[in-house]
């Protein structure tokens, strides 16, 4: 029987992971430096490979947005290099003693941070994910299996070869960075079943991809990315500040998961606030869709459907709902939200506390934009994604979130009676 | 369309979980006390219900061991009551501030422990799991959906009614404790798909059950229980102490997951050590199965097959392999182990460190029995199981391991530029 590419690379990654778990910070940092150098030196070959992907994509009729995400130039390579330098500068999480204690029988128990093992990343057509994931996994002592989309395969092959070869030259165990070359759907599905080799799968991409992985995978997964986020303007809010926050949360980068999709406004201030916010949004050509009460105040806009409350627009559309107060706002968010990021604008400490206590989300803000839900903005230095599940990690996932732990127990002959 | 039992109870549990997350420690403890009282007062009804299950089980031809696990008497009810009192006495994990920091832009970020939400427990015929799981979930602020096996259904219905009613009287939100009455396989499978209502599934039972849940579930799961554990006697070990530890690890309770299944012995000491250990094991009627080298020293015993290295015997059988040294021992364990508990007997600090560094398991011991891998023995006060995966929780899972966290962020108008 032929061994499949996934099995073969899975085995190799698992073997490598056992050595990589014990590799020193010095070697890991040296590898990250060499990977950065190699990307720089190999930029032309990478851009050439990328142009093959771009031509194929163009022929295939990929959208402009997709082609843009796929394309690589000198500036984007510099971005990848910068990312490697950032990861190099971060403290190594491995070996950290999380806690230690002594039992009455004399056993000394130490809880120590260790890598997860082998991390599988299933992603689409953004080649920077290749470098970024490899760097974060390497620094956290994990081997990585990269399964990118077919549209970026030539680029990914060139990038993966560049960074893996240079990492191995620095002393990283051979096999620690694996790219699956066969981009047939079957290899992704095989990876989702590879419990023997893969400790965790992290899908990175659009909703369709993430839902497929989360539903089909037998390997433990971390659900990332979908953000149906809300801003709620409570009646005591500083309305001017609220306009700025709501505008920032919607418009500064509408295509990302921490942007808001729905604005909730207390009815007591809706007649004052909604025209203020509409003026600002009109300038940015944001399409507003309102509930019945909103339409009375802003008669020119479109009506919001129930579907709109559920939708992550990922573009310049905002749904607006007038609510009776903090209770209705919380109820709406806990019904339609995706456990990502939610914010309240208020001067009322009780309302703020209630909102933060009762909202079920990874990040709950008071008087700030939801756009801060991000590994860099949180001070983690980097992120591999934003978890919207509660198991293992929640919110922005940095290096620490790519680790597990083990208990080391020292005895002198203890037996259990 | 009729709403299924799982959907209906799932919805109710999810609604309850939002309130339970905010319920005070005082009310939770009051509930645990009332649950204990109610079990005591209702003991007769529970034992009566249990006798219906026992009769049905007997008719069905259940094994003696299964019937024993299923059966409930006054002593076992007292055990459940004691368990409730222990959980009551433990500190409430919810609300704990795990860390807090301030960002240069003035945002204050606080990481706070919160419940997971709704925990689904799929288990077999041990009715004490019903009480035990309900208590741990309640104290950690989680609603619970219990899906026990058909053999214990009458007992479980009576127990669940008893504890839920008394918890609600103490102020626990209605719906926080749910038992699925329909024990058809379909309800378990529905629960495994109920991502909308269930945050986490924890299977508790034998290998078959756990593997089914882990492989089929779309809800995040925690793999528990399977323990193919090893004891390794390194050449510098105190052989007398090693005999005691190995004997304890195998014989003190052979049916549990933290018992050892294979003994590894350095060849330098095998001729001395193996006869010592055989003498002790013979007294306890433990069947030994040895590798080729073992058979030369202990010619009377059975030969071990490759299958034996992989097997969790869960009984009085021990496989024995003579190894060249610590490297071969580590290699064997990392190949056949189930990431549970492993121990080395040695006086050599370098060998001990190497073993603890390189063995991939939840608990790695030096000079102590693997039988200590247990929430009580670790000092957690209680446990819901022993995780053999690396995501979320590893090793014994107490109350803290039944929680997640969220970030609370306080600003004064911050927007992201």
DSSP string, B266-281: EHHHHHHHHHHHHHHH
Contacting residues for B292 by C-beta, under 8 A, at least 6 apart:
B303
Tell me if chain A has a CB within 8 Å of the CB of B363: yes
Q: What is the pLDDT of residue A320?
A: 98
Domain tally, chain A = 2
Beta-strand relationship, B363-368 and B341-345: parallel
User: Which pLDDT band holds residue B377 (cuts at 50, 70, 90)?
Assistant: very high
pTM, two decimal places:
0.93
**Domain-embedded: residue B138:** yes
Range of the domain at B334: 229-372
Q: Which residues of B touch A18 (CB under 8 A)?
A: 334, 358, 360
Mutate to test the interface with B, among A241, A390, A393 (most CBs of B within 10 A): A390
Interface of A with B in 306-345 (CB under 8 A): 334
Tell me if chain B has a CB within 8 Å of the CB of A212: no
**Domain-embedded: residue A150:** yes
Q: What is the pLDDT of residue B329?
A: 98
- CB atoms B415 and A357 under 8 Å: no
**Domain-embedded: residue B387:** no
> Of A18, A218, A416, which has the smallest distance from its Cβ to B248's Cβ?
A416
| Three-state secondary-structure class, residue A229 | strand
Q: Mark whether B349 and B398 lie in a shared domain.
A: no
Q: Mark whether A72 and A172 lie in a shared domain.
A: yes
Per-residue model confidence as pLDDT tens digits over B18-43: 999 999 999 999 999 999 999 999 99
What's the complex ipTM? 0.94
Q: Name the nearest CA neighbour of A273 among A301, A300, A244.
A: A244
Q: Mark whether A156 and A267 lie in a shared domain.
A: no
Q: Mark whether B126 and B181 lie in a shared domain.
A: yes
Q: What is the pLDDT of residue B205?
A: 85
Q: Which residues of B touch A103 (CB under 8 A)?
A: 377-379
- CB atoms A368 and B214 under 8 Å: no
Q: What is the pLDDT of residue B3?
A: 85
Tell me if chain B has a CB within 8 Å of the CB of A224: no
Beta-strand relationship, B177-179 and B143-147: parallel
Q: Mark whether B184 and B283 lie in a shared domain.
A: no
**Domain-embedded: residue B382:** no
Tell me if chain A has a CB within 8 Å of the CB of B3: no
Q: Which residue of A has its CA nearest to B357?
A: A22
Q: What is the pLDDT of residue B145?
A: 98
Q: Is residue A259 a contact partner of residue A249, using CB atoms and an 8 Å limit?
A: yes
Helices B185-193 and B207-216: angle between axes, nearest 10 degrees: 40
| Three-state secondary-structure class, residue A209 | helix
Helix ranges (H only) for A61-200 are 64-70, 74-89, 128-139, 153-169, 185-193
Q: Mark whether A176 and A242 lie in a shared domain.
A: no
Beta-strand relationship, A403-414 and A395-397: unpaired
- CB atoms B369 and A407 under 8 Å: no
Q: Which residues of A touch B248 (CB under 8 A)?
A: 415-416
Residue B21: CATH number of its domain: 3.40.605.10
Q: What is the pLDDT of residue B225?
A: 78
From start to end of B8-142, where are the E strands?
97-102, 108-115, 118-123
DSSP string, B300-345: TSEEPPHHHHH----SSEEEEEEESSHHHHHHHHHHH--SSEEEEE
Q: What is the pLDDT of residue B206?
A: 83
**Domain-embedded: residue A351:** yes
State which residues of chain A have pLDDT below 50.
Answer: none
Q: Which residues of B touch A358 (CB under 8 A)?
A: 18, 22
Q: How far apart are CA A286 and CA A252, in angstroms?
A: 12
- CB atoms B109 and A412 under 8 Å: no
Q: Mark whether A141 and A41 lie in a shared domain.
A: yes
Q: How far apart are CA B170 and CA B333, in angstroms?
A: 49
Smallest CA–CA separation between A215 and chain B, in Å? 5
**Domain-embedded: residue B415:** no
Beta-strand relationship, A385-387 and A363-368: unpaired
Beta-strand relationship, A118-123 and A200-204: parallel
Joined together, the tokens standing for residue A296 give 């009375």
**What residues form DSSP beta bridges with B319?**
B262, B289
Q: Which residues of B touch A215 (CB under 8 A)?
A: 195, 218
Q: How far apart are CA A399 and CA A414, in angstroms?
A: 36
End-to-end CA distance of chain A: 50
Interface of A with B in 74-93 (CB under 8 A): none
Backbone angles phi, psi at A345, to 5 degrees: -105, 120
Separation of CA A270 from chain center: 34
Q: How far apart are CA A72 and CA A42, in angstroms?
A: 13
Q: Mark whether A303 and A402 lie in a shared domain.
A: no
**Domain-embedded: residue B378:** no
Q: What is the pLDDT of residue A65?
A: 85
Q: Is residue B94 a contact partner of residue B21, using CB atoms and an 8 Å limit?
A: yes
Residue A316: CATH number of its domain: 3.40.309.10
| Three-state secondary-structure class, residue A409 | strand
Q: Mark whether B189 and B252 lie in a shared domain.
A: no
Q: Which residues of B touch A379 (CB under 8 A)?
A: 101, 103, 109
Q: Mark whether B111 and B32 lie in a shared domain.
A: yes
Q: How far apart are CA A104 and CA A417, in angstroms?
A: 13
The yes-or-no verdict on residue B1 having pLDDT over 80 is no
Q: Which residue of B has its CA nearest to A374?
A: B416
Smallest CA–CA separation between B377 and chain A, in Å? 8
Joined together, the tokens standing for residue B305 give 């097959």
**Domain-embedded: residue A415:** no
Q: Name the nearest CA neighbour of A113 among A95, A92, A140.
A: A95
Q: Name the nearest CA neighbour of A41 among A177, A144, A168, A165.
A: A165
> Of B352, B372, B391, which has the smallest distance from its Cβ to A414's Cβ?
B372
Q: Mark whether A402 and A327 lie in a shared domain.
A: no
Q: Mark whether B38 and B163 lie in a shared domain.
A: yes
Q: What is the pLDDT of residue A1?
A: 53
């Amino acid at each position: 029987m032929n061994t499949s590419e996934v099995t073969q690379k899975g085995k190799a990654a698992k073997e490598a992971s056992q050595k990589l778990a014990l590799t020193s910070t010095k070697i890991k940092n040296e590898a990250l430096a060499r990977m950065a150098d190699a990307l720089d030196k190999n930029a032309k070959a990478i851009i050439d490979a990328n142009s093959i992907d771009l031509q194929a994509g163009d022929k295939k009729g990929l959208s402009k947005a997709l082609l843009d995400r796929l394309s690589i130039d000198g500036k984007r390579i510099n971005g990848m290099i910068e990312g490697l330098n950032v990861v190099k500068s971060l403290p190594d999480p491995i070996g950290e003693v999380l806690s230690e204690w002594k039992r009455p029988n004399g056993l000394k128990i130490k809880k120590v941070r260790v890598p997860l093992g082998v991390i599988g990343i299933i992603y689409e057509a953004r080649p920077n994910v290749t470098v970024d994931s490899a760097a974060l996994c390497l620094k956290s002592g994990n081997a990585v299996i990269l399964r990118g989309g077919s549209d970026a395969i030539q680029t990914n092959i060139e990038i993966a070869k560049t960074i893996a070869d240079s990492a191995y030259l620095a002393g990283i165990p051979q096999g620690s960075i694996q790219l699956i070359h066969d981009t047939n759907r079957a290899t992704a599905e095989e990876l989702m079943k590879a419990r023997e080799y893969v400790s965790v799968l992290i899908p990175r991409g659009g909703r369709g991809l993430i839902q497929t992985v989360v539903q089909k995978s037998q390997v433990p997964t971390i659900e990332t990315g979908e953000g149906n986020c809300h801003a709620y303007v409570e009646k005591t809010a500083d309305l001017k500040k609220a306009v700025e926050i709501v505008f920032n949360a919607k418009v500064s980068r509408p295509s990302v998961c921490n942007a808001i999709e729905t604005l909730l406004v207390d009815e007591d201030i809706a007649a004052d606030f909604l025209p203020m916010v509409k003026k600002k949004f009109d300038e940015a050509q944001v399409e507003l869709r309102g509930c019945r009460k909103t339409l009375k105040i802003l008669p020119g806009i479109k009506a919001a459907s129930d579907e709109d409350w559920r939708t992550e627009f990922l573009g310049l559309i905002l749904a607006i709902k007038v609510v009776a107060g903090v209770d209705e706002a919380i109820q709406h968010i806990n019904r339609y939200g995706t456990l990502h990021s939610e914010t309240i604008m208020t001067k009322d400490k009780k309302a703020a506390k209630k909102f933060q206590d009762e909202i079920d989300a990874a990040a709950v803000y008071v008087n700030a934009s939801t756009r801060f839900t991000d590994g860099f903005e949180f001070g983690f230095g980097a992120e591999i994604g934003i978890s919207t599940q509660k198991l293992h990690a929640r919110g922005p996932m940095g290096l620490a979130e790519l680790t597990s732990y083990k208990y080391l127990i020292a005895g002198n002959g203890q037996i259990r009676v």
